[in-house]
A and B are shown apart, each in its own frame.
Chain A
Amino acid sequence: MRSEPRVPVRLQEQESGWPRAAVETVRREWLIAFRNRQDLMNPLVFFVLIVSLFPLGVSPEPEFLRQAGPGIVWVAALLSILLSLNLLFRNDYADGHLEQWVLSPQPLALLALARVAAVWVTTVLPLVLLVPVLAVMLHLSPGTGLVLVLTLLVGTPVLVLVGAIGAALTVSLRGSGVLLVLIMTPFYVPVLIFGTGAVTAAVEGASITGHLALLGAMLSLAVVLAPLAIAGALRISVSNG
Chain B
Amino acid sequence: MTSTLLEARQIHCERDDRPLFSGLDFRVGSGELWRIAGPNGVGKTTLLRILAGLNPAFEGELLWQGEPVHRVRTQYQANLLFLGHNAGVSSSLTAYENLAGWQAMRTPAVPEQVMVALADAGLSGYEDLPAAQLSAGQQRRVALARLYLSSAPLWILDEAFTAVDREAVAQLEALLANRVRAGGAVILTTHHRLALEGVQVLTLGEGYDAV
Contacts and interface: CB of A to CB of B under 8 A. Distances in A.
Interface of A: 1-15, 17, 20-21, 24-25, 27-28, 31-32, 35-36, 91-92, 94-107, 235, 238-239, 241
A27 B121 CA distance: 25
Task: List the 3 closest pairs (A to B, CB-CB), nearest first.
Answer: A96-B86, A105-B78, A3-B174
B105 A97 contact: no
B84 A99 contact: yes
A230 to B, nearest CB: 17
Interface in B102-123: 102, 104-108, 113, 116-117, 120-122
A15 B108 CA distance: 11
Given A17-B107, A32-B93, A95-B88, A100 B56 contact: no
Contacts of B49: 239, 241
Contacts of B93: 28, 31-32, 35
Centre residue among A10, A21, A105 by max chain B CB count within 10 A:
A105
B75 interface: yes
A8 B151 contact: yes
Contacts of A4: 175, 178
B201 interface: no
A224 B30 CA distance: 40
B175 A95 contact: no
Contacts of B89: 95-97
Main secondary structure of the interface of B (DSSP, over half): loop
Interface stretch (B34-42, B141-149, B189-197, B203-211): B141-149
Contacts of A12: 75, 78-79, 151-152
A238 B144 CA distance: 21
Contacts, number: 149
9 contacts: A1-B144, A5-B182, A7-B150, A17-B106, A25-B105, A97-B89, A99-B54, A100-B88, A239-B54
A10 B153 contact: yes
A104 B92 contact: no
Centre residue among B30, B105, B121 by max chain A CB count within 10 A: B105
Given A95-B89, A97-B90, A235-B56, 12 more contacts: A1-B122, A1-B172, A5-B184, A7-B150, A9-B151, A10-B153, A21-B104, A94-B86, A95-B86, A99-B84, A103-B52, A239-B55
B55 A13 contact: no
B136 interface: no
Interface residues of B, number: 60
A92 to B, nearest CB: 8
Contact of A10 (B84, B120, B151): B151
Contact of A96 (B88, B121, B122): B88
B108 A20 contact: yes
B176 to A, nearest CB: 9
Nearest to B175: A3
Contact of A32 (B78, B90, B102): B90
Contacts of B148: 2, 5-7
A13 B84 CA distance: 25
Interface string B82-99: 101111111111000100
Nearest to A94: B86
Nearest to A28: B101
Contact of A2 (B52, B56, B120, B182): B120
A14 B87 CA distance: 25
A93 B75 CA distance: 24
Nearest to A32: B92
A161 B56 CA distance: 25
Contacts of B164: 1
A4 B178 CA distance: 7
